[in-house]
Amino acid sequence: MSAITVDNISKKFRLPHHKKTTLFQHALGLMKRQMTYEEFWALRDISFEVEKGETLGIIGRNGSGKSTLLKILAKVLYPDSGTVQISGKIASFLELGVGFQPELTAAENIYIYASVLGISRRETGMVYDQILDFAELKRFEDMKLKNFSSGMYTRLAFSTAVNCNPDIMLVDEALAVGDTAFQKKCMAKIDEFKAQGKTIILVSHAMDTVRKICDRTVLLHNGVIVSLGDTDSVILDYASLSGSAGLKPEHIPLAVDWDGDGRQELCLFKHGLWFIDMDHDGEFDPRSDKKLGPFGVQPGDIPLAIDWDGDGRQDLAIYRQGKWYIDINRNGTFEPGEDLELGPFGGQPGDIPLAIDWDGDGRQEMAIYRPGGKWLIDLNRNGIFDPGEDLELGPFGVHPGDVPMAIGWDGDGRQDLAIFRKDTLYIDTNRDGLYREGTDLAPLGPSPLAEAGTPLAIDWQGNRRQDYCIFLDGNWYMDSERNGLFLEGGYIRFGPFFR
């Protein structure tokens, strides 16, 4: 049951060249027949749902449409197209203390403000003491509002608003109220709201607050939704939008057997955070799934899942400028000393790292696919490529844009080398480092879907065979036919990963 359903709303503002506010000016304008205003889309095709009991953050730069969206939800503004459905009593705090009359006493103003918020006199009477206690203004009950300090004023307003027991709260940066102690109380009240299963929508620039209380977050930019989903990753999208992190909002899909049950989980690496779909439903749900990190991101980092120690569970790792950083203590972050740092492997530009269990001993080795088509596998497991001791295979055949992969296709316990080229997957099943049609497995593909997406190998079913999977636009496509064609009915789709 969703509390708020926003379906495809757009809002257009008029920016008049000369503001005309009188009949006379309008009459003149009619005679001159000039274009009197420009149109400006404040919001365009906004759709999302908010579940009951969920806290949704709305972030974005100034002028991105946050407040317009909130005002539409509050019914102050009307969308030009699209619909908004709201179920439940809604209280909007676009501004605190709307309708306060300075000449009246605090007690009278509580009733006035409550009625503006849609609360009857009788209902207000029931929470009246609660309001004054929460605001810590019991002594000033009969004082005229004009003699209040601004802190007292906002405390009274906030207290009245939160004690009116709405189902849905729309909050626009109103939380910066009062001193530290009062702010703590407000946060506690908000946690209480969340525990009671109330829905909150928060517009804020304070990322700490958003991170603390929002389950999901929407990032608006120039009136469109740029990113919607897990709060941490959306905040990082925002940071990259503002240019402060210097990162592109990239998602890198991975398959990782985190829990060691023999089935690999879907995982998305985004801004140094790992999102692991522990319950195998193809979607990331903060309540049932796992989020780890941040690992610390640098441009060019490549995430990997590797079962280095052979305990049946794959660990997370980052390949950074020729070095391997393996999160042995499994907390999603890299701590020097506790975690493993290996290499440098060689570190030529364009090297692509792989984790591969070449020899089938249950431990994965590190490997590098070097542009030109060579495979370098670190068989002696020291993180450095030693000619003679380690394995050099290939060349596989060069083609720009090739993606190397290790895949346990045949289920013999050893992973084979494979190359994804344009839209087709070539697996070296006879393990000589070369791909030859006839002696190796027939090419899997071609497929237009694969061409648009990112390939990965995953043992989704836990049958010790890895399947071919394509990640595209937040969805996972499992090649259930095992022919790489991804035709209608020949795949199982999961996702979208982030709702």
Interacting residue ranges for other proteins, rule: CB under 8 A: 13-14, 21-24, 26, 71, 74-78, 92, 94-95, 98-99, 116-118
Q: How far is the CB of 57 from other proteins (least distance, A)?
A: 21
Please, is 184 exposed, middle or buried when counting C-beta atoms within 10 Å of its C-beta (0-12, 13-18, 19+)? exposed
Q: How far is the CB of 83 from other proteins (least distance, A)?
A: 14
How many angstroms separate the CA atoms of 274 and 257, rounded? 13
Please, is 69 exposed, middle or buried when counting C-beta atoms within 10 Å of its C-beta (0-12, 13-18, 19+)? buried
108 alpha carbon, distance to own chain's centre: 45
376 alpha carbon, distance to own chain's centre: 35
Could you tell me if residue 118 is left (phi over 0), alpha (psi between -120 and 50 degrees) or otherwise beta?
Answer: left
Residues 6 or more apart in contact with residue 63 via CB below 8 angstroms: none
Q: How far is the CB of 36 from other proteins (least distance, A)?
A: 13
Q: Where are the beta strands (DSSP E) in 150-238?
A: 168-172, 199-203, 216-221, 224-230
**Residues 267 and 275 sit within 8 Å (Cβ to Cβ):** yes
Using DSSP's 3-state secondary structure scheme, residue 306 falls into strand
| CA-based nearest residue to 76, from 103, 116, 106, 47 | 116
CB nearer to other proteins: pick between 98 and 379: 98
CB nearer to other proteins: pick between 43 and 427: 43
Phi and psi at 294, nearest 5°, equal -80, 150
CB nearer to other proteins: pick between 84 and 492: 84
Q: How far is the CB of 186 from other proteins (least distance, A)?
A: 19
| 154: amino acid identity, one letter | T
Tokens in use for 441?
A: 């497995």
CB nearer to other proteins: pick between 117 and 356: 117
CB nearer to other proteins: pick between 71 and 320: 71
Q: How far is the CB of 97 from other proteins (least distance, A)?
A: 9
Q: How far is the CB of 95 from other proteins (least distance, A)?
A: 4
Instruction: Give, in order, the Cα–Cα distances in Å from 171 to each of 111, 162, 220.
Output: 21, 11, 16
CB nearer to other proteins: pick between 22 and 149: 22
CB nearer to other proteins: pick between 87 and 424: 87
CB nearer to other proteins: pick between 13 and 302: 13
Q: How far is the CB of 135 from other proteins (least distance, A)?
A: 19
Q: How far is the CB of 111 from other proteins (least distance, A)?
A: 15
